[in-house]
Chains A and B, each alone.
Chain A
Amino acid sequence: SQQGEEDPQALSIQEGENATMNCSYKTSINNLQWYRQNSGRGLVHLILIRSNEREKHSGRLRVTLDTSKKSSSLLITASRAADTASYFCATAGNNRKLIWGLGTSLAVNP
């Protein structure tokens, strides 16, 4: 079953613009992770935010977590054509399993 729900399902922007994707989940978590997937191949870990953290940065990525609303957002600043991919959030609880959303498909147009 899916835990996370990403919003929007698809996003198309111009190079240089910012891209924001949201993720909502249902149960309590230890951490929330964002991954990227190119062309249906393996997923690449982007960033992990723990349940006691509210914001985290990594390069052009900024992730926020609001545990009261059970939601997270991923912001990609100054997007590039190479950022075109699908982005997934995954939540980790006490049972060590990662539970995934359906993903947001991002297209960055040159």
Chain B
Amino acid sequence: ETGVTQSPTHLIKTRGQQVTLRCSSQSGHNTVSWYQQALGQGPQFIFQYYREEENGRGNFPPRFSGLQFPNYSSELNVNALELDDSALYLCASSLVNTEAFFGQGTRLTVV
């Protein structure tokens, strides 16, 4: 158990819909990162939040957005879902430049 929890664990959405994924970080960690992992691939960095501010972003379009709350929990929002958005979405909490602790992920399927 890493202390990082993600919800929901599985989700099926229709193309064009919007989705919100949630992550609660490990106690004391002020940095949350989100990753997208397609089947058979390594995780791709979406963005990172540090003390409620976005602190870096990968090559993802603006329809991927996020929030970090004062308790350091976080949300990932994806608008106008596309079939290629189907993937495992991973949240990781950490301190700066230390090991990341991952949740179990949310499996999103877009049909």
Contact = CB atoms under 8 A, between A and B. Distances in A.
Interface of A: 1-2, 4, 30-31, 33, 35, 40-45, 48, 88, 90, 92, 95-103
Interface residues on B, range: 20 to 34
B42 A103 contact: yes
A71 to B, nearest CB: 17
A88 B33 CA distance: 17
A92 B97 contact: yes
Interface of B: 2, 4, 31, 33, 35, 37, 39, 41-45, 48, 50, 55-56, 58-59, 88, 90, 92, 96-105, 107
B42 A100 contact: yes
A92 B45 CA distance: 12
B33 A97 contact: yes
23 contacts: A2-B42, A40-B39, A40-B88, A40-B105, A41-B88, A42-B103, A45-B99, A45-B102, A48-B98, A88-B42, A90-B100, A95-B56, A96-B55, A96-B97, A97-B45, A97-B48, A98-B45, A98-B92, A100-B35, A101-B42, A102-B41, A102-B42, A103-B42
